[in-house]
Amino acid sequence: MATYKWKNMAIICLGSFVGAMDLTIVNIALPRLSQAFRSEPTSVLWVQVAYLLVSTGLMFALGGLGDLVGRKRVYVLGLGVFSLGLGLCALAPNLGLLIVFRLVQAVGQAMEVSTSTAILTAAFPSQERGKAVGILSSVVAAGLGIGPAIGGSLLDVLDWPAVFYMRLPLAVAATGLAWGLLREEPGAVGRGPRAFDLPGAIALFLGLGSLLVWVNQGPRLGWTSLPSLALAAFTLLALGVFGAVERRAVRPVLELGLFRHRLFAFASVSLILYFAALPFFSFLAPFYFIQGVGFSSSQAGLWLAMFPISRVLLAAPSGWLSDRIGSRLPCSLGMVLVAIGLFFLGRLGPAPSPLGLALAMGTMALGSAAFGSPNTSAIMGSVPPDRLGTASALVATGRQVGQALGMAAAGSVFAYRQGVWLDRLPSGGGEAPAMVYSFADSLSLAAVVALV
């Protein structure tokens, strides 16, 4: 058992690394794709938006399916579908087919991510769950952090298809290792695919999908425009139907009764708020560094890399600590540190000192690591064994929904405050100061979200 749990860890970490890298490596290729396919940036953006919509919308359904038919089956098939999507994307002759092939990838990604944490935590005893989640969090952070660097290097040496086909050997290796070495862990014994809640899965997919489209397009359409209001109304309708279906389902996609468990409910809401606060920094910091402060792109990139690198180093010790003292203190202290880091990052002004930047970003990274692993461990530990797939899907879905909400809110708040400051500052010379002050205002709001 001791040997197997570490084999399990290695396989899950490899698959998660490949999947996490995909979330950031494609971003840097979007300008090249726009040139290659002679398409507008708003059209090319759907390479990522479509991927996010499908992967997020399917998380809960596929996590629940893993609980029913066996998590290994769903996980291995997901890695295989993801690998197929990588190969197809590299061969895409036009933008339309590239987006279609990204949807194939998204289905595979949803299958892999929705079951990975459940497979991992089931292999470790409860007293080591935080350590296991901490190591996995470090690997995911490494994948997210290294993606842009590898993608940029591949684009300099080769062309955009390399962003896809160069990762194919890793994905295929992860698929083969998972198929050969992971143990099959059936979900609810005695229940088969017929118990799967298809109506609930469809309603949730439509609800989450329309929510993300509304959040993504709201700033462009105008929050009070007819299309925006229609999307909001459809989101509420679909989620309302989902709630009604779940109350009658024999085996619901998301058992709403889980939220009666205080630890599960508060840890889940905290997860979404945490990931809603972070994009205020990650999305706005490049504008602050380059247009507000005057850093070069390489300088800004080095400072931005400090956050994921620090998380890689700190996530595993945080998980180990939560195994010994529980999740409440690390999570609460972590979010306070995130709030402090966000607040002081916004107060560094137009000429930040390297020491001030390092202290503020280090504080935020320390808080992020202190929160992340214990929070995931708390969610996974608060559900019965046959619902680990649902809990794993919740972690993945909460992360992506929080990020989508945070990015939309950050863009809207930043644009509004920038307009206010441009009106207040002298005309002609207030662009950079307005950028700095708007960044400060936005990060103050993010700090409030973290404290909540």
Q: Is the pLDDT score of 203 beyond 70?
A: yes
How far from chain centre, in Å, is Cα 319?
Answer: 19
Under a CB-based contact definition with an 8 Å cutoff, are residues 132 and 79 in contact? no
Under a CB-based contact definition with an 8 Å cutoff, are residues 110 and 13 in contact? no
Q: How far apart are CA 54 and CA 205, in angstroms?
A: 8
pLDDT at 450: 93
Q: How far apart are CA 38 and CA 32, in angstroms?
A: 10
Q: How far apart are CA 51 and CA 104, in angstroms?
A: 9
Cα within 13 Å of Cα(31), Cβ side: 5
Structure tokens at 363: 């504080």
Q: What does pTM read for this prediction?
A: 0.73
Burial tier of 428 (Cβ tally within 10 Å: 0-12, 13-18, 19+): exposed
As a whole-number percent, the residues of the chain with pLDDT over 90 amount to 18
| pLDDT, tens only, 216-273 | 677 677 778 898 899 899 999 998 998 888 788 777 777 777 788 888 889 889 999 9
Mean pLDDT, range 67-88, rounded to an integer: 90
Mean pLDDT, range 406-420, rounded to an integer: 79
φ/ψ of 181, rounded to 5, equals -115, -25
Query: Average pLDDT over the chain, rounded to whole?
Result: 82
Judged by DSSP in three states, 376 sits in helix
Question: Distance of CA 442 to CAs 117, 257, 401, 437, 449, Å?
Answer: 33, 36, 19, 9, 11
At residue 188 the predicted structure's pLDDT band, cuts being 50, 70 and 90, is: very low
Cα within 13 Å of Cα(58), Cβ side: 23
| pLDDT, tens only, 120-165 | 887 888 777 777 877 887 788 778 777 777 777 787 788 889 889 9
